[in-house]
Structure 1
């Protein structure tokens, strides 16, 4: 656990990958709980529904707008990008295999403009981001 906490603190993207959804989900949520105080703006957990059929940028930002700890302003993806760019926070993506290519591209762009943002993802496979660290379950 301590190696994963350090990987989140020092890196930009950590993906917990593996076949079973529940262990991945429990692990990233525990990491988020333990490390939340390290971020001025806390942690935003987005739990993606496996029956949804895929999350594009619009669906992802809508889910971010529903996060109680850090609700986004409801004015579209451009404003969401700039709002998140000013945050020091951990974004947890539980069920990241549901992200579509446009959502992944948006997240890559977001990392480029948001220096205080870290991503902790749980999915069957890695996100394939350049700066990503992978923990295989």
Structure 2
């Protein structure tokens, strides 16, 4: 007997118990997400901003793919993936949309920005890139233009 044939009744029972409205056992966020997806939700919005899209999985991509009434803006970095272990895919490679490279970051200063220019794997980042991080005052950022480097 194959393992999946043996486990199927137990997995089915576990799913039924977890998906029941008055379930006594804990339900994982993934089960909630799957149940929501199966309900074929319509997100009532004119546009949807989906941040960290590179960490998405097929379930969320399918939900967003059905939102034909809304403009969807995917934000993500295909080189920053830490959730592959839970089913995340490189969603950025599966999305058919125009790409825009970042031109400014508040996370680091001018020196790091200068080092980042044209150092990425793709040439899409060969654009004027400015670091605006400033330690002078918490919460205050100042721009340093590339010409000042």
TM range (shorter): 0.3 to 0.5
**Which of the pair has the greater relative contact order for Cα pairs under 8 Å at 6+ separation?**
1
TM-score by length of 2: 0.31
Report the structure number with the largest CA radius of gyration: 2
The structure richer in helix per residue is 1
Q: What TM-score comes out, normalization by structure 1 length? A: 0.34
Structure with the higher strand share, 1 or 2:
1
